Structure 1
Amino acid sequence: MTAEARPWTAPLAQGPVAATVRLPGSKSMTARALVLSALADGPSRIQRPLRARDTTLMADGLRALGTAIDTSGPDAWAIEPRPLRGPATVDVGLAGTVMRFAPPVAALADGTVTFDGDPHARNRPLRPIVEALRSLGADIDASPSGGLPLVVRGTGALEGGTAVIDASGSSQFVSGLLLSAARCTKGLVLRHDGPPVPSAPHLRMTTHMLRAAGAVVDDSAPDVWTVEPGPLSGQSWQIEPDLSGAAPFFAAAVVTGGTVTLAGWPRDSWQPVGVLGGLLTELGADVSQGDDGLTVRGTGRLKGIDADLSEVSELTPVVAALAALAGSPSSLHGVAHIRGHETDRIAALARELDKVGAGVVEHPDGLDITPGPLRAATFETYADHRMAHAAAVIGLAVEGITLTDVACTSKTLPEFPELWAGLVTGG
């Protein structure tokens, strides 16, 4: 069930923010750790996981397939692999990770597994992973569009082998297949054929975590991934703070000329911290890594940028909000695939930024944004947590920005409204 809509007026900054923020773990890492733990030969622990709607749905889905998952601990979850079996029903909510990572697991199970989710989830692209699974021996029924609802009829094993996929719509198509590949009888040779795969850092996270679990992975050839069949070992997964979730907090430092430190940030990360740091620097911030974490300092100059965001498309809404507040025009491109995210993010951003007074030109793969005198408005969030983040960032500098629903931030950060208000007001 989706949360009841909660209208919310974004707080206006009264001066430079100054805060150290402690955020929950990465959604992407938590989701991958859950899947790899469910497929392992022994128990695992996930340290500092993200406890939010997407990751709870992933845990619930794996539980429905038979995995024992104890999420009662405040700082760690315990996973005990069990034989995967149906019948089962999996609610994917609006989570791309669940709808792309769990069906390959279900194809390894013995029994029938049904997948469905929120109404808009039926519009999110899924056909490439369905067709790839069929080519690998899975028995799947899908909607006429190739997406949800899905029915996977598992026999307790999946042959695997070679598959060709167009993953230009989402890197999750590749990650979902790779995460389960070692458990296939023949492993997997997966080849991408199409326009570039977006969000490449997420693919590197997948292969890093597979190797950490003991899988033999070869990704040396461009657009080809080979995973050999074999066991996966239980792990103690250390989940990093969520970089995408940190973006609006860092943006607050840029907008207000303040300082925000993300505590607990590791010096060696599996997330694309270098790309985010480069973007924030171009926009006019100083970014530094210290023993206390990752720090962003606003310089009082917010500059427009020309940026290819294909590797960090999750950041597009927050970067677009910063562009609307900048002192010169921006061009954001390389993100055609985010039209298939929680909402069509390009179209949604064009509508809402125009509503608050920015000049916006929508392109198939991005936006041109010209700052203008911004005004109070009701900002539609489209049940999309990243749209809510964008509205909150604009609300730092523009009084009267009201979000139609801030409850959608529970998808990845239930504490967002309280954390944000504390950051802005110093409370």
Structure 2
Amino acid sequence: MTVIDIPGSKSVTARALFLAAAARGTTTLLRPLVSDDTEGFAQGLKALGYEVRQEPGAWHIEGRPEGPARRSADVYCRDGATTARFLPTLAAAGHGTFRFDASPQMRRRPLGPLSTALRALGVDLRHEENEGHHPLTVTARGVKGGALTLDAGQSSQYLTALLMLGPLTAEGLSVTVTDLVSEPYVEITLAMMRAFGARVTREGRTYTVAPTGYTGARYPVEPDASTAGYFFAAAALEPGRTVTVPGLGTGALQGDLAFVDVLRRMGADVEITEAATTVRGTGTLRGLTVNMRDISDTMPTLAALAPFADGPVRIEDVANTRVKECDRLDACAENLRRLGITVTTGPDWIEIRPGTPAGTGVEIATHGDHRIVMSFAVTGLRTPGITFDDPGCVRKTFPDFHRAFRVFDAFHPTP
């Protein structure tokens, strides 16, 4: 059995940084993810005037419920979608003029529904070049609150940003959602808000947040379930290979742990206890049709595993993956075809036929997307010769991924 120490969750770390900055008192985050995305978020907070002390294994944040300490700031959000969407929302609750910009990759990603919602709450927000995209400037005078309607069909992060803003408003916030993707990520948000003292309820598609503010906490960050998925997929690929990830068990916040249910349907043995999750390969990988709307970050992982199934793998309801770091549906299809695999795609689906990937001399086009690299590393376990045009882009969420994944190099299947 291989025990894998997965770094902290990116989603949990980003939310915790927002909540800590907004809270009364000092918050200590235990085992936060240290990666380009989370470092970018922490640097963004520092640019706004928040005090963030980073030590190995623990980050300490001095909260400012009144908002950023600086009255003007220029914040670079790098590639991070959580940074680029959460920090302007946090700044809106303060007072001052704050400009936000991001990498060319992040500039392409949409922000429009969140901008529209913030404007509906009276926030003075201006996009400098392309409407609904970075760069943007927020002229903040606090947020009164109120009721609004939101389309979160492209990204649940729009809803998360607004919900986390709610306790900082003068009168509270009510958000009615017309469409919502990746709903388990919103459940992470609600659980974490409550851990920091917020009062938030849901009735149907309407979320109501009281203007309670937040209280600092000592908050442990659980391992990243999306990252664990690459190691679980590697286990499912070979009979006798067993992977255990401690810290991800029955009480885990992250919906992406449901990826192991997909592996179970395909034939892997899965055990989830209070303390850990274990996946063991059985030698069976069945084809299937699966809706991955709620766990779409694991779509590339399944796509990269799919050629080794005994029948077609069809992944449905993942249109939102087209507006991630890259168009992940097209990127997966492109790279599988490079490997000689038959693939068809539609607006929100991909179907992959079984086959034997031919890796020698094939370079995976990563499009600067960390998840494309880590997913096709799974394919590479059975396909010698695969290379990547930008293997280092894993620094976004898991800088040490390539070294960690080499644990499978010495694996010998059980006779």
| TM-score, normalization by structure 1 | 0.92
Alignment equivalent of 1:261, drawn from 225, 244, 255: 244
CA contact (8 A) 2:250 2:275 kept: no
SS of the residue 1:166 aligns to: strand
Report the equivalent of 2:148.
Answer: 163
Task: Describe how 1:87-126 pairs up with structure 2 within 5 A.
Answer: 87-126=72-111
C-alpha displacement of 1:180 = 1.5
SS of the residue 2:373 aligns to: helix
Report the equivalent of 2:341.
Answer: 358
Aligned counterparts of 2:126 and 2:162: Cα–Cα separation in 1? 17
Report the equivalent of 2:133.
Answer: 147
1:346-378 per-position Cα deviation (integer Å, ceiling 9, x unaligned) = 111111111111111111002011122311111
CA contact (8 A) 1:303 1:323 kept: no
Aligned counterparts of 1:272 and 1:104: Cα–Cα separation in 2? 24
1:182 aligns with 2:167: yes
Task: Describe how 1:2-151 pairs up with structure 2 within 5 A.
Answer: 18-71=1-54, 73-82=55-64, 83-84=67-68, 85-142=70-127, 143-151=129-137
C-alpha displacement of 1:66 = 1.6
SS of the residue 1:353 aligns to: helix
1:335 aligns with 2:318: yes
Aligned counterparts of 2:213 and 2:368: Cα–Cα separation in 1? 39
Q: Which runs of 5+ in 1 are unaligned?
A: 1-17
Alignment equivalent of 2:308, drawn from 308, 316, 325: 325
1:304-335 per-position Cα deviation (integer Å, ceiling 9, x unaligned) = 11000001000000011111221210110111
1:300 aligns with 2:286: no
SS of the residue 1:55 aligns to: helix
CA contact (8 A) 1:357 1:375 kept: yes
Report the equivalent of 1:232.
Answer: 214
C-alpha displacement of 1:265 = 2.5
C-alpha displacement of 1:86 = 3.1
Report the equivalent of 1:7.
Answer: none
1:420 aligns with 2:405: yes
Alignment equivalent of 1:252, drawn from 226, 229, 234: 234
CA contact (8 A) 2:229 2:260 kept: no
Q: In 2 relative to 1, CA 174–349 (structure 1 residues): closer, same or farther, beyond 3 Å?
A: same
SS of the residue 1:182 aligns to: helix
CA contact (8 A) 1:240 1:266 kept: no
1:405 aligns with 2:403: no
CA contact (8 A) 1:182 1:227 kept: yes
Q: Which runs of 5+ in 2 are unaligned?
A: none
Aligned counterparts of 1:256 and 1:274: Cα–Cα separation in 2? 20
SS of the residue 1:219 aligns to: strand
Aligned counterparts of 1:425 and 1:138: Cα–Cα separation in 2? 56
Aligned counterparts of 2:169 and 2:336: Cα–Cα separation in 1? 47
1:202-230 per-position Cα deviation (integer Å, ceiling 9, x unaligned) = 00010111111111101122x21111112
1:206-257 per-position Cα deviation (integer Å, ceiling 9, x unaligned) = 0111111111101122x21111112211011111110001111111111122
Alignment equivalent of 1:172, drawn from 157, 175, 182: 157
| Amino acid aligned to 1:182 | P
Task: Describe how 1:309-320 pairs up with structure 2 within 5 A.
Answer: 309-320=292-303
| Percent identical residues | 38
C-alpha displacement of 1:273 = 5.6
Aligned counterparts of 1:148 and 1:398: Cα–Cα separation in 2? 39
CA contact (8 A) 2:232 2:260 kept: no
Report the equivalent of 1:5.
Answer: none
C-alpha displacement of 1:274 = 5.6
Runs of 4+ in 1 over 4 A off after TM superposition: none
SS of the residue 2:203 aligns to: coil
C-alpha displacement of 1:292 = 6.0
CA contact (8 A) 2:154 2:320 kept: yes
